[in-house]
Structure 1
Amino acid sequence: MTDVTYKVVEHDGGWAYKLGDVFSETFPSHDAARAAADRVAQEQRAPGETEAIQYQDEKGRWHDETAPGSDRPSTDVVG
């Protein structure tokens, strides 16, 4: 299972949550950014439908796979 951790950080004159190097929109307070991160983390854990997917890898090759809707990450929010 994959682990996903959202981090609440100061950003652009306010607060944001961050995953890797990607920031969310800016929120006026830490509490607002934390609430948004908690909401996103909860949605990330929600199961979905099993679907066929296609994607292109870094070498330009296309792949067909089945993505099980129950294959959801473990999530956490820090900060």
Structure 2
Amino acid sequence: MASVQYEIVEHNDGWAYKLGDVFSETFPSREAAHAAAERAAREQRLPGEDTDIQYEDARGQWRVEHASGDDRPNTTVKD
């Protein structure tokens, strides 16, 4: 099972949560960013419908993968 960790960071004169290199919107306080990250983490764990995902890889090749709706990651928030 995959693991996803949201990190709380200072961003644009406020606070945000970050996943990899991607930032959320900016929040006025660390607490607000943390609460938003907790919500995002909970939503990531919710099961959904099976679907096929199509994406272009780093070599420019198009790939198709089947994603099971109950294959959800473990999520954490690092403050």
Structure 2 stretches lacking a partner, 5+ long: none
Q: Partner of 2:53 in structure 1?
A: 53
Deviations 1:22-42 (A, max 9, x none): 111100011110010000000
Q: TM-score, normalised by structure 1?
A: 0.89
State the Cα distance separating 1:11 from its structure 2 match. Answer: 1.0
Q: TM-score, normalised by structure 2?
A: 0.89
Q: Partner of 2:36 in structure 1?
A: 36
State the Cα distance separating 1:54 from its structure 2 match. Answer: 2.5
Identical residues among aligned pairs (%): 62
* Deviating 4+ runs (over 3 angstroms): none
Structure 1 stretches lacking a partner, 5+ long: none
State the Cα distance separating 1:58 from its structure 2 match. Answer: 2.5
Give the paired residue count: 79
State the Cα distance separating 1:55 from its structure 2 match. Answer: 2.5
